[in-house]
Amino acid sequence: MNVGKTVFAQVMDFLPKHQFRRCVNRYQGNHRVRSFTCYDQYLCMAFAQLTYRESLRDIECCLRAMGKKLYHSGFCGTVSRTTLADANETRDWRIYRDFAHRLIITAKKLYAGEDFGIQLQETVYALDASTIDLCLSVFPWAKFRKTKGAVKLHTLLDLRGNIPSFVHITDGKVHDVNVLDILIPEIGAIYIMDRGYLDFERLFTLNQTPAFFIIRSKTNTKVRRLYSQAVDRSIGLRCDQVVTLTGYYSHKHYPEKLRRISYYDDLQKRQLVFLTNNFNLPALTVAELYRCRWQVELFFKWIKQHLRIKAFYGTSENAVKTQIWIAISVYVLVAIMKKQLGIEQSLYTILQILNLTLFEKAMLYQLLEITSYRNENDCNHIQLKLFES
């Protein structure tokens, strides 16, 4: 007798199926498919992400062991590793990329009012890239070095809720700064970048949007000081200057003024120099915003530890990109579920609970909410005595 939904089915209820069908129809993902649809493929891969499965055989064994619960969890028919492998190899990975972007739009609206430690009206993004190492003999398409393969995950992270707003997957040889050519800037937003993105021609394009950037300066960047603002050296600030570039190509590519801020970090015992085109923010706020850039590093560390994007179920480019995009969509889907249910648990705790209870039939909110029951004995209570002497 079926009583209630499984936890996995309740999680998938947060998935907008009409948006998913649109993405599938856009690339004809179910063309000439009889039984194992793109939705079935997504469910299998999402199950693998939530339960940390190691291989296709591992996925097959675990799902077949839960055969009586699969139908009530949304699966249609039995799951075969060869069918799943063929789907990962042949189904267009752009289906799951577009679907992940739809989820990201939903998540951004939910987390728009989140506080990331600095009170600002503008949207703040951190841009960075992370390399996922691969074996060149197994993944010959992933060019990186002579004896090493890799894919690079370029991510623009919205610091309100740590939601990836833009993700681009390339081979390891593509330099980080090239992503600025395909990034569509948001008017009035603030982009925080490391010095690997210091390309004045691309930064000037960003300035013309107009959008703001905060980037670390290189030691060989030549500038001429026009005038300075007074700073409080007791809080770590060393200078707040308006400068112009003096290098031939740098001045040619960025002819306008820049703001140069120097800050001494007591924790790391080093001095950091920032360049920005925002002349209104306090100098200390600029330094604190750059410190928030570390959130994107933590995001890469988190997804590599808790999602399956380091070991892959297929070796083709299509299979690898499919797995990465489904992993990102699962991360965003859990973030949406967390916000809509008002759960205070961290994403790490939620994933650990889901890993153990995915095919249990329990109420999802009750399973994930923080409960701390405590029995309190009141010694001063008034109670009638049955026998009194």
Amino acid at residue number 244 = T
Query: What's the confidence (pLDDT) of residue 387?
Result: 53
CA distance 141 to 156: 25
- Closest to 327 in 3D by CA, of 343, 304, 346: 304
Indicate the SS3 state at residue 185: coil
Q: Which two tokens stand for residue 44?
A: 């299998």
Please report which residue ranges of the chain form alpha helices under DSSP H. 7-12, 17-26, 38-51, 56-65, 67-70, 81-90, 94-110, 200-207, 248-253, 283-292, 294-306, 317-341, 347-357, 364-368
pLDDT for the residue 281: 93
The pTM assigned to this predicted structure is 0.86
Quick one: pLDDT at residue 268?
A: 83
Q: What is the Cα gyration radius of the chain? A: 26
- Provide the token pair at 262: 């120097």
Instruction: Please state, in angstroms and rounded to a whole number, the distance separating the CA atoms of residues 129 and 142.
Output: 16
Give the three-class secondary structure for 152: strand
Pairing outcome for strands 223-229 and 212-216: unpaired
Structure-block tokens of residue 218: 């290189």
For residue 83, the one-letter residue type is T
The pLDDT value recorded for residue 385 is 53
Q: Find out whether 236 and 266 touch, Cβ atoms under 8 Å.
A: yes
What's the rounded Cα separation, in Å, for the pair 200 and 155? 20
Contacts for 373 with CB less than 8 Å, ≥ 6 apart: none
Instruction: Tell me the CB-side half-sphere exposure of residue 386, using CA atoms within 13 A.
Output: 0
For the chain, 389 residues long, give each residue's pLDDT as a single digit of tens.
456 788 999 999 999 999 999 999 999 999 988 888 999 999 999 999 999 888 999 999 988 888 778 877 878 767 889 999 999 999 999 999 999 999 999 998 898 878 777 888 888 999 999 999 888 888 989 888 888 899 999 999 999 888 898 999 998 999 999 999 999 999 999 999 999 999 999 999 999 988 999 999 999 999 999 999 999 999 999 999 999 999 999 999 999 999 999 999 888 889 999 999 999 999 999 999 999 998 898 888 888 888 888 789 999 999 999 999 999 999 999 999 999 999 888 888 898 999 888 988 888 888 888 654 454 555 555 555 545 54
Collapsing DSSP to helix, strand or coil, 389 comes out as coil
Task: Give the Cα separation of 222 and 252 in Å (integer).
Answer: 13
Look-up of token digits 């939904």: 5
What is the C-alpha separation between 170 and 193, in angstroms, rounded? 19
| CB of 58 closer than 8 Å to CB of 344 | no
SS3 360: coil
Q: What is the C-alpha to C-alpha distance for residues 9 and 286, in angstroms, rounded to an integer?
A: 45
Q: What is the pLDDT of residue 377?
A: 52
The SS3 assignment for 223 reads: strand
Say what the pLDDT of residue 373 is.
43
Residue 269 exposure: Cα atoms within 13 Å on the Cβ side: 0
Is 350 within 8 Å of 334 (Cβ atoms)?
yes
